[in-house]
Amino acid sequence: MDFPLPLPEHKKVAAFFLLPDCDIRCTFCISHSDFDVIDFDRAAAFIDRVAESSIESLVLGGGEPLLWPNGLEALAEHARSRGMISQLNTHGGGLLKRLDGLASVDRIILPIESVQPDVHDNLRRGLVGHHKMVMETIEELIARDRVLTFATVVTSENYKGVGEIAGWMAALEGRGARIHAWHLYNFLPEGRGGARKLAEHLAVSREEFLSACSTAKNAGLDCAVYRRDNMLRSSTVEFFWFEQGRLCMGGGELARSKSPG
Protein backbone atom coordinates (compact mmCIF):
# COMPACT_ATOMS: atom_id res chain seq x y z
CA MET A 1 0.00 0.00 0.00
CA ASP A 2 1.45 3.37 -1.02
CA PHE A 3 1.01 6.54 0.95
CA PRO A 4 -0.59 9.41 -0.99
CA LEU A 5 2.45 11.54 -0.21
CA PRO A 6 5.82 10.86 1.42
CA LEU A 7 5.45 11.09 5.19
CA PRO A 8 7.56 13.81 6.80
CA GLU A 9 9.93 12.39 9.40
CA HIS A 10 8.47 14.56 12.15
CA LYS A 11 5.07 12.86 11.98
CA LYS A 12 4.92 10.50 14.96
CA VAL A 13 1.19 9.83 15.36
CA ALA A 14 -1.33 8.49 12.83
CA ALA A 15 -4.98 9.37 13.46
CA PHE A 16 -6.87 6.72 11.51
CA PHE A 17 -10.57 7.21 10.80
CA LEU A 18 -12.14 3.74 10.62
CA LEU A 19 -15.68 4.86 9.80
CA PRO A 20 -17.73 8.07 9.65
CA ASP A 21 -20.68 6.77 11.70
CA CYS A 22 -21.46 7.92 15.21
CA ASP A 23 -24.49 7.47 17.44
CA ILE A 24 -24.35 10.86 19.13
CA ARG A 25 -24.23 14.38 17.70
CA CYS A 26 -21.69 16.69 19.26
CA THR A 27 -22.20 20.32 18.35
CA PHE A 28 -18.46 20.71 17.78
CA CYS A 29 -17.91 17.53 15.71
CA ILE A 30 -15.41 18.13 12.92
CA SER A 31 -15.91 14.67 11.42
CA HIS A 32 -17.15 14.40 7.85
CA SER A 33 -19.68 11.82 6.65
CA ASP A 34 -18.37 10.97 3.22
CA PHE A 35 -15.52 8.52 3.77
CA ASP A 36 -15.41 4.72 3.78
CA VAL A 37 -16.07 2.18 6.48
CA ILE A 38 -12.74 0.47 6.03
CA ASP A 39 -12.51 -3.32 5.90
CA PHE A 40 -10.18 -5.20 8.23
CA ASP A 41 -7.64 -6.31 5.66
CA ARG A 42 -7.04 -2.80 4.36
CA ALA A 43 -6.85 -1.43 7.89
CA ALA A 44 -4.28 -4.07 8.84
CA ALA A 45 -2.28 -3.39 5.67
CA PHE A 46 -2.33 0.31 6.51
CA ILE A 47 -0.93 -0.44 9.96
CA ASP A 48 1.78 -2.62 8.42
CA ARG A 49 2.77 0.32 6.24
CA VAL A 50 2.80 3.00 8.95
CA ALA A 51 4.75 0.69 11.24
CA GLU A 52 7.62 0.98 8.75
CA SER A 53 7.53 4.80 8.85
CA SER A 54 8.38 7.45 11.44
CA ILE A 55 4.94 6.92 12.99
CA GLU A 56 5.15 5.45 16.49
CA SER A 57 1.58 5.70 17.67
CA LEU A 58 -1.80 4.94 16.12
CA VAL A 59 -5.06 6.61 17.18
CA LEU A 60 -8.08 4.54 16.20
CA GLY A 61 -10.95 6.94 15.62
CA GLY A 62 -13.87 7.83 13.38
CA GLY A 63 -16.75 8.62 13.78
CA GLU A 64 -17.02 6.34 16.78
CA PRO A 65 -14.52 3.47 16.52
CA LEU A 66 -16.53 1.21 18.85
CA LEU A 67 -19.18 1.10 16.11
CA TRP A 68 -16.70 -0.20 13.55
CA PRO A 69 -18.09 -3.62 12.61
CA ASN A 70 -14.90 -5.20 11.28
CA GLY A 71 -12.90 -6.25 14.34
CA LEU A 72 -11.61 -3.40 16.51
CA GLU A 73 -10.14 -5.75 19.09
CA ALA A 74 -8.21 -7.71 16.47
CA LEU A 75 -7.01 -4.49 14.85
CA ALA A 76 -5.67 -3.19 18.15
CA GLU A 77 -3.84 -6.49 18.62
CA HIS A 78 -2.45 -6.18 15.12
CA ALA A 79 -1.12 -2.70 15.93
CA ARG A 80 0.57 -4.03 19.04
CA SER A 81 2.07 -6.93 17.09
CA ARG A 82 3.68 -4.33 14.80
CA GLY A 83 5.19 -2.54 17.80
CA MET A 84 2.92 0.49 17.69
CA ILE A 85 1.44 2.34 20.65
CA SER A 86 -2.29 2.16 20.10
CA GLN A 87 -4.87 4.65 21.30
CA LEU A 88 -8.65 4.55 21.11
CA ASN A 89 -10.45 7.87 20.65
CA THR A 90 -13.98 7.14 21.82
CA HIS A 91 -17.03 8.84 23.30
CA GLY A 92 -17.04 5.97 25.79
CA GLY A 93 -20.50 4.47 25.20
CA GLY A 94 -20.28 0.68 25.34
CA LEU A 95 -16.57 0.71 26.12
CA LEU A 96 -16.70 -1.09 29.46
CA LYS A 97 -18.41 -4.15 28.00
CA ARG A 98 -15.52 -4.54 25.55
CA LEU A 99 -12.65 -3.52 27.77
CA ASP A 100 -11.20 -6.99 28.25
CA GLY A 101 -11.06 -7.54 24.52
CA LEU A 102 -9.35 -4.19 24.09
CA ALA A 103 -6.43 -5.06 26.35
CA SER A 104 -4.06 -4.23 23.47
CA VAL A 105 -5.13 -0.59 23.50
CA ASP A 106 -2.41 1.30 25.35
CA ARG A 107 -4.33 4.54 25.97
CA ILE A 108 -8.00 5.42 25.96
CA ILE A 109 -8.92 8.95 24.92
CA LEU A 110 -12.17 10.24 26.42
CA PRO A 111 -13.96 13.57 26.13
CA ILE A 112 -14.55 15.87 29.06
CA GLU A 113 -16.06 19.23 28.20
CA SER A 114 -17.06 20.17 31.74
CA VAL A 115 -17.35 18.81 35.25
CA GLN A 116 -20.92 20.14 35.13
CA PRO A 117 -23.15 17.43 33.60
CA ASP A 118 -25.55 19.88 31.95
CA VAL A 119 -22.76 21.86 30.27
CA HIS A 120 -21.08 18.69 28.99
CA ASP A 121 -24.32 17.09 27.81
CA ASN A 122 -25.71 20.24 26.20
CA LEU A 123 -22.72 20.27 23.86
CA ARG A 124 -24.09 16.94 22.59
CA ARG A 125 -27.41 18.30 21.43
CA GLY A 126 -28.97 17.75 24.83
CA LEU A 127 -27.90 14.13 25.13
CA VAL A 128 -28.73 13.54 28.78
CA GLY A 129 -26.53 11.06 30.60
CA HIS A 130 -23.34 11.15 28.54
CA HIS A 131 -21.45 12.93 31.29
CA LYS A 132 -22.60 10.38 33.88
CA MET A 133 -21.57 7.51 31.63
CA VAL A 134 -18.14 9.04 30.97
CA MET A 135 -17.55 9.57 34.69
CA GLU A 136 -18.52 5.97 35.51
CA THR A 137 -16.31 4.74 32.68
CA ILE A 138 -13.35 6.76 33.96
CA GLU A 139 -13.78 5.30 37.44
CA GLU A 140 -13.75 1.77 36.05
CA LEU A 141 -10.72 2.49 33.87
CA ILE A 142 -8.84 3.86 36.86
CA ALA A 143 -9.81 0.80 38.90
CA ARG A 144 -8.39 -1.37 36.12
CA ASP A 145 -5.20 0.71 35.95
CA ARG A 146 -5.74 1.72 32.32
CA VAL A 147 -3.95 4.77 30.92
CA LEU A 148 -6.20 7.72 30.08
CA THR A 149 -5.96 10.75 27.86
CA PHE A 150 -8.54 13.51 28.05
CA ALA A 151 -9.79 15.74 25.27
CA THR A 152 -11.66 19.00 25.76
CA VAL A 153 -13.07 21.08 22.94
CA VAL A 154 -13.08 24.67 24.17
CA THR A 155 -16.25 26.54 23.19
CA SER A 156 -18.17 29.55 24.43
CA GLU A 157 -20.25 27.15 26.55
CA ASN A 158 -17.42 25.64 28.57
CA TYR A 159 -14.27 27.77 28.44
CA LYS A 160 -14.95 29.30 31.85
CA GLY A 161 -15.01 25.82 33.39
CA VAL A 162 -11.58 24.66 32.26
CA GLY A 163 -10.14 25.44 35.70
CA GLU A 164 -12.76 23.17 37.26
CA ILE A 165 -11.78 20.37 34.90
CA ALA A 166 -8.14 20.87 35.91
CA GLY A 167 -9.09 20.59 39.58
CA TRP A 168 -11.05 17.41 38.92
CA MET A 169 -8.11 15.97 36.99
CA ALA A 170 -5.68 16.86 39.78
CA ALA A 171 -7.91 14.97 42.20
CA LEU A 172 -7.81 11.92 39.91
CA GLU A 173 -4.03 12.11 39.77
CA GLY A 174 -3.98 12.38 43.56
CA ARG A 175 -5.84 9.05 43.64
CA GLY A 176 -3.22 7.44 41.43
CA ALA A 177 -4.98 7.67 38.06
CA ARG A 178 -2.61 7.18 35.13
CA ILE A 179 -3.31 10.21 32.96
CA HIS A 180 -1.04 10.52 29.97
CA ALA A 181 -2.16 13.87 28.63
CA TRP A 182 -4.89 16.47 28.37
CA HIS A 183 -5.55 18.05 24.98
CA LEU A 184 -7.45 21.34 24.76
CA TYR A 185 -8.81 21.92 21.28
CA ASN A 186 -9.95 25.24 19.94
CA PHE A 187 -13.47 24.94 18.53
CA LEU A 188 -13.43 24.89 14.74
CA PRO A 189 -16.37 25.71 12.44
CA GLU A 190 -15.77 22.49 10.48
CA GLY A 191 -17.46 19.17 9.80
CA ARG A 192 -20.96 17.94 10.48
CA GLY A 193 -21.17 19.58 13.90
CA GLY A 194 -18.91 22.60 13.89
CA ALA A 195 -20.02 23.84 10.50
CA ARG A 196 -23.67 24.01 11.46
CA LYS A 197 -25.69 26.98 12.59
CA LEU A 198 -24.33 26.97 16.15
CA ALA A 199 -20.82 27.68 14.92
CA GLU A 200 -20.95 31.40 15.52
CA HIS A 201 -22.37 30.90 19.00
CA LEU A 202 -19.79 28.23 20.01
CA ALA A 203 -16.71 30.09 18.81
CA VAL A 204 -14.39 31.53 21.44
CA SER A 205 -12.11 34.49 20.96
CA ARG A 206 -8.37 33.96 20.75
CA GLU A 207 -8.00 35.56 24.17
CA GLU A 208 -10.62 33.29 25.74
CA PHE A 209 -8.99 30.18 24.30
CA LEU A 210 -5.50 31.19 25.37
CA SER A 211 -6.72 32.09 28.84
CA ALA A 212 -8.45 28.71 29.25
CA CYS A 213 -5.32 26.87 28.10
CA SER A 214 -3.14 28.93 30.37
CA THR A 215 -5.36 28.00 33.31
CA ALA A 216 -4.98 24.33 32.40
CA LYS A 217 -1.22 24.52 31.90
CA ASN A 218 -0.71 26.33 35.21
CA ALA A 219 -2.82 23.91 37.21
CA GLY A 220 0.20 21.86 38.31
CA LEU A 221 -0.98 18.63 36.74
CA ASP A 222 1.45 15.73 36.40
CA CYS A 223 0.19 14.90 32.90
CA ALA A 224 1.20 16.78 29.77
CA VAL A 225 -1.22 19.56 28.84
CA TYR A 226 -1.40 20.44 25.15
CA ARG A 227 -2.94 23.51 23.56
CA ARG A 228 -4.31 22.56 20.16
CA ASP A 229 -5.05 25.72 18.19
CA ASN A 230 -6.25 23.78 15.17
CA MET A 231 -7.23 20.14 15.69
CA LEU A 232 -6.82 19.42 12.00
CA ARG A 233 -3.25 20.65 11.85
CA SER A 234 -0.42 19.27 13.91
CA SER A 235 3.32 19.09 13.52
CA THR A 236 3.36 15.53 14.83
CA VAL A 237 -0.04 14.03 13.90
CA GLU A 238 -1.09 12.94 10.41
CA PHE A 239 -4.68 12.06 9.54
CA PHE A 240 -5.65 9.05 7.41
CA TRP A 241 -8.93 7.73 6.02
CA PHE A 242 -10.20 5.79 3.01
CA GLU A 243 -12.42 7.28 0.35
CA GLN A 244 -13.89 5.16 -2.42
CA GLY A 245 -11.32 2.52 -1.58
CA ARG A 246 -8.33 4.83 -1.72
CA LEU A 247 -6.11 5.90 1.13
CA CYS A 248 -6.20 9.64 1.79
CA MET A 249 -4.23 11.69 4.23
CA GLY A 250 -4.01 15.27 5.33
CA GLY A 251 -5.25 17.87 7.76
CA GLY A 252 -6.32 21.42 7.23
CA GLU A 253 -9.62 21.33 5.44
CA LEU A 254 -9.08 17.57 4.99
CA ALA A 255 -7.52 18.32 1.63
CA ARG A 256 -8.24 15.34 -0.55
CA SER A 257 -4.80 14.05 -1.41
CA LYS A 258 -5.54 10.78 -3.15
CA SER A 259 -3.29 7.82 -3.52
CA PRO A 260 -2.67 6.46 -6.98
CA GLY A 261 -4.30 3.14 -6.08
172 contributes a contact to ligand SF4 by CB under 6 A:
no
Q: Using the minimum distance from each CB to ligand SF4, give the nearer residue, 198 or 221.
A: 198
92 contributes a contact to ligand SF4 by CB under 6 A:
no
Question: Rounded to an integer, what distance in angstroms lies between the CA atom of residue 88 and that of residue 105?
Answer: 7
Q: Using the minimum distance from each CB to ligand SF4, give the nearer residue, 185 or 215.
A: 185
19 contributes a contact to ligand SF4 by CB under 6 A:
no
Q: Nearest distance from residue 124's CB to ligand SF4, in Å?
A: 7
Q: Which residues pair with 136 in a beta bridge?
A: none
Nearest to 152 by CA among 168, 141, 128, 137: 168
Question: Rounded to an integer, what distance in angstroms lies between the CA atom of residue 119 and that of residue 117?
Answer: 6
Q: Which stretch binds ligand SF4 (CB under 6 A): 61-69, 140-148, 172-180, 202-210?
A: 61-69
203 CA to centre of own chain: 20
Q: Nearest distance from residue 90's CB to ligand SF4, in Å?
A: 8
Q: Which stretch binds ligand SF4 (CB under 6 A): 60-68, 133-141, 159-167, 220-228?
A: 60-68
Question: Edge-to-edge, what's the strand order for the sheet holding 224-228?
Answer: 224-228, 179-186, 147-154, 107-111, 85-89, 57-61, 13-17, 237-243, 246-249, 257-258
Residue 261: Cβ within 10 Å count: 8
Q: Nearest distance from residue 31's CB to ligand SF4, in Å?
A: 5
62 contributes a contact to ligand SF4 by CB under 6 A:
yes
49, 78, 91, 131: residue in contact with ligand SF4 (rule CB under 6 A):
91
